[in-house]
A and B are shown apart, each in its own frame.
Chain A
């Protein structure tokens, strides 16, 4: 559904997206993760033909966005963080305006979508009187009007309260289940991505550092929490025996493939280092993400990209 091939974007001297290749298969809920400034919004801008790539190709729904933007975006809906509307006009009028940029839309279709998102009582009130949640629903309505096959959500939970975030999460699942949409979700909220997405990609400084199914992130976790009498000495012992590949925060070690915790304990005890606690990190997306970021911070990480 979306295909980025070696896409690159430079803003002056700053490289926002660097050699990014990404594939979002049809029918998936795809999560795009990354720190602030990682290049998520720039990548989405390129997918929507709002940001021109410096190099590489971007294809959406089988069409090159740079050359055939109109064809590529015919079946695409998008929602951005803090959705913007013409606040002085009614919700209905906003929908009329925004929908005609794709195709003429009948009042019946607008009513149908308003009912679907649960905004049918206030459609003729000015948008400035809407709550944050109502604006989010209006944003969803405008995205759904052109019968999209692909929905791009750029930080949709930004600024919402826990109830609003829960509502968005339920709506995304409903969209996927009832309308069969392919959804690209960019978010900071790892728990949200974990609950919604079937596949993810992680960006770091404009580069893709991981792409794969969510289950893979659970298998990849290799961080172990270790409490010992002397952490620095323990790291020296384990590094000299080739048992660990990394360490951080004075209490976490990354085991090399094939190394298990019992072997670590044996080596430490043999070196006369007291072991108080050793446990594998919980297999959450958060721990995977943090370890990935840790790997990629500094030159050490840059040398070994564990891309799928």
Chain B
């Protein structure tokens, strides 16, 4: 029965056109960035930076390097938007449309329903990240050769890696990006469990994330940055460092898993207490 309920949620989720907005926008954004990278001075700036650090630029301007460069702004800006869009819809849209009332006239527990909905959302988030990573690499490979990897994110990563090791780290980074995406979705999902419109749930989740970002940018909050989600979201960049700071990465993962669990419990409690009316 659990499998059937999960299957239902996946049918509902992936049957909707708006679920694919994120995939389509990533596709557009990546190609726009690739064109910009190929035909503007962006590429020459990177070459200058590599050569200034004593590396041969042509060895590291590669598909892997460009793929990571493309991922950074997309993970920061687009990923929250599309994960919260879907997360905010998951319960609130069904309540708004009236289908939730149809489901809850049947002998299914609210907790079970919410759990399968969250799982379907998590599957969406993981799929979005994997497709994003695969597309970034695929499109970058069309324009750039398969060579070594250079990653530079001020304050988080500075790495020069061979193609083989770079590929492995690239894959590993996606595991952590998937946790980030799921956390963003869970946040919107929690708001979606309240009696509010789907758009309100999405906006509240985005607002929370942006407030975190703003606070993090204020120097006074430096000492509190571990309490803010974006600090832990950036742990995917740390996996490119050598050696990988596993303790920091693991701490961030524990915080994110705990955040997921917390918002799910809050959402489930609200949903359990709610009256479902037309």
Q: Which residues of A contact B (CB under 8 A)?
A: 11, 41-42, 45, 48-52, 69-74, 76-78, 80-86, 88-89, 93, 96-98, 100-104, 142, 146, 152
B99 and A86 within 8 A (CB): yes
Bin the interface of chain B by size.
20 to 34
Residues of B near A142 (CB, < 8 A) are 102
Residues of B near A45 (CB, < 8 A) are 275-277
A78 and B105 within 8 A (CB): yes
B102 and A48 within 8 A (CB): no
What CA separation (Å) do A88 and B99 show in the bound complex? Answer: 13
A108 CB to closest chain B CB, in angstroms?
Answer: 17
What CA separation (Å) do A74 and B109 show in the bound complex? Answer: 12
- A-B contact count, CB below 8 Å? 91
Beyond known contacts A73-B105, A78-B102, A89-B12: 11 more, CB 8 A cutoff = A51-B275, A52-B273, A80-B105, A82-B98, A84-B101, A85-B102, A86-B99, A89-B11, A100-B5, A101-B103, A152-B105
Give the residue among B99, B103, B106, B107 with the most A Cβ atoms within 10 A: B106
A89 and B15 within 8 A (CB): yes
The residue from A41, A73, A104 contacting B1, defined by CB atoms under 8 A apart: A104
What CA separation (Å) do A146 and B106 show in the bound complex? Answer: 9
Closest A residue to B106 by CB, please name it.
Answer: A101
A216 CB to closest chain B CB, in angstroms?
Answer: 31
A48 and B1 within 8 A (CB): no
Residues of A near B97 (CB, < 8 A) are 84
Q: Which residues of B contact A (CB under 8 A)?
A: 1, 4-5, 8, 11-12, 15-17, 97-99, 101-109, 113, 273, 275-278
B107 and A69 within 8 A (CB): yes
B106 and A98 within 8 A (CB): yes
Closest B residue to A155 by CB, please name it.
Answer: B278
What CA separation (Å) do A50 and B99 show in the bound complex? Answer: 13
A101 and B5 within 8 A (CB): yes
The residue from B5, B106, B113 contacting A73, defined by CB atoms under 8 A apart: B106
The residue from B16, B105, B106 contacting A88, defined by CB atoms under 8 A apart: B16
